[in-house]
Structure 1
Amino acid sequence: MTAVQKRSAARTSPDARRGASRARSTLMLTAGSGVLGLLVWVALASSGIQGFPGPISVLERAAQSIGDGTLFGDLLASLRRVLIGFVLGVALAVPVGFLMGWYRPVRGLVEPWLQFFRMVPPLAIIPLAIVLMGIGETPKIFVIFLASFLSSVVSTFQGVISVDSTLINAARVLGARDRTVFVGVVVPASTPFILVGMRIGLGASWATVVAAELIAAQEGLGYRMQQAQLYYDLPTIFVQLIVIGLVGLIMDRALLLAERRLTSWQERR
């Protein structure tokens, strides 16, 4: 059988057909959910709630914001803060999580403080960060960094301690040194946990930046919502809410796609 015939057979296999059927079903459900949400929105706007904007007025305000450049300017400002804080948080969280999981003394020293700060919402740090760091970009990036770090370090740590001890012992029986065991067994087995922690951390970072911009900012999606609130500008608030939700969803789907590609060896349901 040629390579082309093999690929054709794979596409027409029962598993492939079932997968395609499930994908179509999921797409139809997603589309139906979107239509239902739009109908509910129209119904609420038509119910007489004072000031509640309909889809048309929100779309017109979105077009106006795009036309004058404010929407993209605010979006870029928020994304810049999130990406800087998120990357810094993950970059520190992964090695700290590995050290905690691999070395018990490090775990004993770091874990109590980690659990303590996990109980303090990053939003509660915002007033202190502003007092200590001013109202510039530093306090916003710091609280985003904290949100992504705490989520990612816990997932990385959990991934290391959840590695099947049988795999580690088997590698050592075959003569592998600690470094080889760590790189060849622990890191691959922990990767799904790390990626899940990154998704959670990105969501927490995105929510945190909006809250930080509500308090002290000169640009950003949260800042624009605060300004719209002062003038009771509900269409602008709706535009910002929709953009926040859509951008957050896109970023989450991108990380989910990366997770599936990096962990394609993992059995899925």
Structure 2
Amino acid sequence: MSAVAVDAAPRPQRGGAPPRRRGLLVTLNVASALAGLGLWWLWSATADNVPTPVEVARRMGELFGDGTLTDDILASLQRVLAGFALGTAVAIPVGFLMGWYAVARAVFEPWVQFFRTVPPLALIPLVVVLMGIGETPKIFVIFVAAFLSCVIATFQGVVDVDRTLLNAARVLGAPTRVIFARVVVPASTPYILVGMRVGLGSAWGTLVAAELVAAQQGLGYRMQNAQIYVDRPTIFAALICIGVLGLIMDRLLLLVERRATAWQERR
């Protein structure tokens, strides 16, 4: 009797929302995009200095056709990925050290909090003086933006680990390294991935200003160059490319987050 009751009990669903709900969300996404496009069209119809979506699409086709926009996208992607990857690679171990060891927290936290109050864009004049006008200062500024977002999230993830889990692992005789690897790291993973998503947004937000520093290619450079010639469709085209690339990369990180935290209870 009890076995039948257990078998008949509803099992928790995996794989996210049910199909009907996913279909509704996709429909809302499409409707939102179309509404935004309609507002843009209305804006361009009531303002003389705003290009229409057709004009921007035509300009994007021209820039893709001669390879200009493709080269700019590749140059910007290389800078963002390099700065973001370096910032994340440094932030995660530093965040773990700060959260797990009080001595490391005392050493690193004042510097992290200090630089958090300094906008990465404010560092551009300094890094240009110290590093020149090559690729290094551009990547460094993006690195700082990604690092600061991810290190705080990682640190907070370690600090917020449920003490009951830590105490239970100690009572069961688990050594410190096992507790860290089997309890702290999994519990901190959601925080780390959220920090990476925020850091990715900061990296793209810093990119345009970083590419104003003597760049010859890149979406930020293309926008600056278009501003000089009052080429509004090109400015809109570069903005759209940045937004689309950032959205795609964020969705990829969100997919990784769902796979890595599938053990969590979801609403």
Output the TM-score relative to the length of structure 1.
Answer: 0.92
Alignment partner of 2:211 out of 210, 213, 219: 213
CA distance in 2, matches of 1:16, 1:29: 20
CA distance in 2, matches of 1:77, 1:17: 36
Structure-to-structure mapping, 1:54-133, within 5 angstroms: 54-133=52-131
CA distance in 2, matches of 1:96, 1:14: 37
Report the equivalent of 1:43: 42
CA distance in 1, matches of 2:19, 2:44: 38
Give the counterpart letter for 2:214 in structure 1: A
Deviations 1:70-120 (A, max 9, x none): 101000000001111111111111111111111101101110111010011
The answer (yes or no) to whether the contact 1:90–1:198 under 8 Å persists in 2 is yes
Shift of 1:216: 2.7
Alignment partner of 2:146 out of 142, 145, 148: 148
The answer (yes or no) to whether the contact 1:214–1:225 under 8 Å persists in 2 is no
CA distance in 2, matches of 1:17, 1:136: 45
Deviations 1:141-197 (A, max 9, x none): 101111111111111100101001111111111111111111111111111111111
CA distance in 2, matches of 1:245, 1:235: 15
Alignment partner of 2:220 out of 219, 222, 230: 222
Alignment partner of 2:179 out of 160, 178, 181: 181
CA separation of 1:16/1:167 partners in 2, compared to 1, >3 Å: closer, same or farther? closer
CA distance in 1, matches of 2:136, 2:229: 29
Report the equivalent of 1:242: 240
Give the counterpart letter for 1:192 in structure 2: P
Shift of 1:207: 1.1
CA separation of 1:17/1:125 partners in 2, compared to 1, >3 Å: closer, same or farther? closer
CA distance in 2, matches of 1:240, 1:198: 24
Shift of 1:24: 1.2
Q: Which runs of 5+ in 1 are unaligned?
A: 1-9
Give the counterpart letter for 1:79 in structure 2: L
Alignment partner of 1:252 out of 239, 250, 254: 250
- Percent identity, aligned pairs only, is 61
CA separation of 1:25/1:166 partners in 2, compared to 1, >3 Å: closer, same or farther? same
Report the equivalent of 1:23: 22
Aligned length in residues: 257
CA separation of 1:256/1:96 partners in 2, compared to 1, >3 Å: closer, same or farther? same
Q: Which runs of 5+ in 2 are unaligned?
A: 1-9
Say which SS state the counterpart of residue 215 (structure 1) adopts: coil
Shift of 1:15: 8.8
Report the equivalent of 1:33: 32
Give the counterpart letter for 1:167 in structure 2: L
Shift of 1:50: 2.3
Give the counterpart letter for 2:225 in structure 1: Q
Output the TM-score relative to the length of structure 2.
Answer: 0.93
Give the counterpart letter for 2:253 in structure 1: L
CA distance in 2, matches of 1:153, 1:15: 31
Q: Where does structure 1 differ by over 4 angstroms across 4 or more consecutive aligned residues?
A: 13-18
CA distance in 2, matches of 1:152, 1:14: 31
